[in-house]
Amino acid sequence: MEPIGFYSQKLKSKDELQDGAKIAIPNNPSNEYRSLVLLQANGLIKLKSGIANFSATPRDIIENPKNLKFVEVDSAQLVRALPDVDGAIINTNFILEAKIDPKSALFREDANSPYANDLIVRKGEESRPEIKKVAEQLTSPEVKKFIQDKYGVAVIPAF
């Protein structure tokens, strides 16, 4: 899984977020939802209950104690927006492309995120020996170690 993370060129920790801070978030439904859930998991906002996956927007925030202001930006432009905002939630692939250290995220999703990559096969083919072998290899300790050694915090083995 490539976690999304909160990056800032102005802050050293989320505790430095001031009242009215401007936060850039992705403007596409799945990543906007992920961003808001990440902010909620870090105690910065609270979303109303009963929101279906991918449908939350800033209008669904019911508690915002720091009066954070949200700027919805195309995901590919979030890195460019960093100088103009107090922080931004950015997908790791864009962080890597911009040559930003993913360890510099003030906070990020962890391995419990529901956005891990999965091996999907057609119904009825899940018991084929070659499918079982691929699944076994993809979730092996060796592959987990390879991911951790090669990608560090940029990619999290979610198995």
Task: Please give the pLDDT value at position 118.
Answer: 74
Say if residue 29's pLDDT is above 70: yes
Task: Please give the pLDDT value at position 90.
Answer: 97
Q: Which of 20-29, 61-70, 102-111, 144-153 has the lowest mean pLDDT?
A: 144-153
Say if residue 61's pLDDT is above 80: yes
Q: Please name the residues in contact with 123: beta carbons below 8 A apart, sequence gap of 6 or more.
A: none
Say if residue 88's pLDDT is above 90: yes
Say if residue 103's pLDDT is above 80: yes
Residues 28 and 85 in one domain: yes
15 — pLDDT class (breaks 50, 70, 90): very high
Q: What is the largest CA-CA distance in the chain?
A: 57
Residues 26 and 88 in one domain: yes
> Which tokens is 143 given?
């592959």
Residues 16 and 39 in one domain: yes
pLDDT tens per residue across span 49-60: 988 777 889 999
Residues 94 and 56 in one domain: yes
Quote the CA–CA distance of 96 and 127 in Å, as a whole number.
Answer: 37
Domain CATH code at residue 100: 3.40.190.10
Among 87, 77, 73, which residue's Cα sits nearest to residue 20? Answer: 87
Residues 98 and 42 in one domain: yes
Residues 56 and 126 in one domain: no
Say if residue 8's pLDDT is above 70: yes
77: left (phi over 0), alpha (psi -120 to 50) or beta: alpha
Q: How many residues does the chain have?
A: 159
Residues 96 and 134 in one domain: no
Residues 60 and 123 in one domain: no
Say if residue 87's pLDDT is above 90: yes
Q: Based on the structure, what is the number of domains in the chain?
A: 2
Residues 142 and 96 in one domain: no
Task: Please give the pLDDT value at position 77.
Answer: 97
Task: Please give the pLDDT value at position 116.
Answer: 66
> Which tokens is 103 given?
């360890």
Inter-residue contact 17 to 68 (CB < 8 Å): yes
Range(s) of the domain holding residue 155: 117-159
Inter-residue contact 139 to 90 (CB < 8 Å): no
Is pTM beyond 0.85? Reply is: no
Say if residue 135's pLDDT is above 90: no
Residues 103 and 122 in one domain: no
Strand order of the β-sheet with 87-91 is 69-73, 22-26, 87-91, 4-7, 107-108
> Which tokens is 1 given?
């899984």
152: left (phi over 0), alpha (psi -120 to 50) or beta: left
Residues 102 and 136 in one domain: no
Q: What is the rounded average pLDDT for all residues in the chain?
A: 90
Q: With the C-alpha atoms ordered 10, 14, 16, 19, is the resulting torsion angle positive or negative?
A: positive
**Of 71, 86, 108, which residue sits at a domain end?**
108
Residues 135 and 157 in one domain: yes
Say if residue 114's pLDDT is above 70: no
